[in-house]
Structure 1
Amino acid sequence: MTNPIEIKKLTVAYDKTAVLKDIQFSVPKGSLTAIIGPNGAGKSTLIKAILGLIPKVSGDIKIYGKPYRAKDRLVGYVPQRGSVDWDFPTSALDVVLMGRYGHIGWFKRPGKEDMALAKESLKKVGMDAYANRQISQLSGGQQQRVFLARALVQDAQVYFMDEPFVGVDAATEKAIIQLLTDLKDQGKTVIVVHHDLQTVEEYFDHCILLNKEVIASGVTEEVFTLEQLHQTYGGKLAFLDKGKVMVEQTR
């Protein structure tokens, strides 16, 4: 069976400096996978390279055995909230409807079915009451839920999410992880850039340890070890408390 994601010898460079080098891993179908590593490790760059948002120097990227452009309708993407222009004058419902354009085309108006799917996706993330609210008027957690709804309405098979838990409250984090778990239970594949080591073992069944190179990749209970975390984070691993791994935050 073809894995949803197969990456071989991927290298990405900025100004001739490699920021990702010889990246190689696969992600099995129906997994909930975390990409973890220190600041500057290339986590967001990795997702953008897979999605063709930035060029690669070399390497092979396959989605269900084909180049991304041949399978882009199977992929949903939730970018970092900080990379979005939240002052753009549009409603929560309109943002979610953008997720339907891959199905209907950019030059057709959404139909009744598209509208119903968008409203249902907002309901799934607890934002149906805010459908007509301008996105600039929403809180950070509410904005993140709207972008999750936009990804959901795509009805993708593979979802990439770049730090979806950053800047959200506890209730939103709980709602997001429940949604991701539901997607996994439906056989979807979810890849999440994640920064909180405290929750990796609780939330994810697979993980990729990244620091410009893949340090380890596989089942969480096999990969998420103190030895490999030290190799990934170096001296930034501060201490262990009741079995929990902590990372010293640097600014």
Structure 2
Amino acid sequence: MYIHSRSDAALSIRNLTVSYHNQPVLWDIHLDIPTGVMAGIVGPNGAGKSTLIKSLLGLVPSLSGDVQIHGHPYAAQRKRVGYVPQRSSVDWDFPTTALDVVIMGLYGRLGWFKRPGSKERREALEALEMVGMEAFTDRQISQLSGGQQQRVFLARALVQQADVYFLDEPMAGVDATTERAIVDILRRLRDNGKTVIVVHHDLQTVRHYFDWLLMLNARVIASGEVDKVFNIEHLREAYGGQIAMLSDSDALMFQASKVT
């Protein structure tokens, strides 16, 4: 049984509202995600999933709301948070190597004016090895495949040794081998007491990947343990359209109208 007390939560949100051009994108979000879970965030296109992550990290402004990481404001907890953005938001033509990208993850600890030394280089190499990218240390990031780029950014988050990790669709556009590798790494983090929060798009894998779930469509549709909230009623409320559960394979076949 997970504890949902705010004081024990890895992430706690109260009254969060975000608006673009005077149109609410997220409305009055209340949420507690417990420590040590692998949590998925799902919802239709335009539901505000990525906006939620960015607003929590201060990357987009919010109209109102209070966000706490392990009981303290995010501003005081930045060093305890790792972030992997969507691949589409990264300038992959920037001239830098895979190793340099990972070392950038250490600047929060070092500060921008202290040069990384042999210790930091060793940590970055270990993180690249964890994601299976040790052979690409000196490769320009633009020369890597999409899946390889995603692994490098995951290594950048890992080297921060954070307590809470936010990942924005890390499995989007990667091959099956890379997806399995990413999920295995995230599970290891969870098993070591970290909290992993993932924006996810594939409903068929929700039950297999996550133990905690937020279903979102501008507001919180449901949140809690996957077995309790991932059901046909909540899916219909979040997605509309035609949704059918196939109990024989424990998979979910889904067709829904896109939300713009």
TM-score, scaled to structure 1? 0.97
Question: Which of the numbers 155, 161, 180 marks the counterpart of 1:174?
Answer: 180
Q: Do the aligned partners of residues 81 and 250 (structure 1) sit closer, same or farther apart at CA in structure 2, a change above 3 Å counting? A: farther
Residues 125-173 of structure 1: per-residue CA shift (max 9 Å, x gap): 0000000000000000000000000000000000000000001011100
Matches within 5 A, 1:1-251: 2-235=8-241, 237-241=242-246, 242=248, 243-248=250-255
Q: Cα offset for 1:108?
A: 1.1
* Amino acid of the structure 2 residue aligned with 1:8: R
Alignment partners' CA distance in 2, 1:250 and 1:131: 43
Q: Cα offset for 1:2?
A: 2.5
Contiguous gaps of at least 5 residues in structure 2: 1-6
Contiguous gaps of at least 5 residues in structure 1: none
* Amino acid of the structure 2 residue aligned with 1:245: L
RMSD between aligned alpha carbons?
1.1
Large movers: runs of 4+ above 4 Å: none
Q: Cα offset for 1:247?
A: 2.7
Give identity over the alignment, percent. Answer: 58
* Amino acid of the structure 2 residue aligned with 1:244: A
Alignment partners' CA distance in 2, 1:118 and 1:168: 23
Q: Cα offset for 1:238?
A: 4.2
Match for residue 3 of structure 2?
none
* Amino acid of the structure 2 residue aligned with 1:22: D
Alignment partners' CA distance in 2, 1:151 and 1:44: 17
* Amino acid of the structure 1 residue aligned with 2:200: H
Alignment partners' CA distance in 1, 2:100 and 2:138: 8
* Segment drifting more, 147-156 vs 56-65: 56-65
Alignment partners' CA distance in 2, 1:238 and 1:157: 36
TM-score, scaled to structure 2? 0.94
Q: Cα offset for 1:65?
A: 1.3
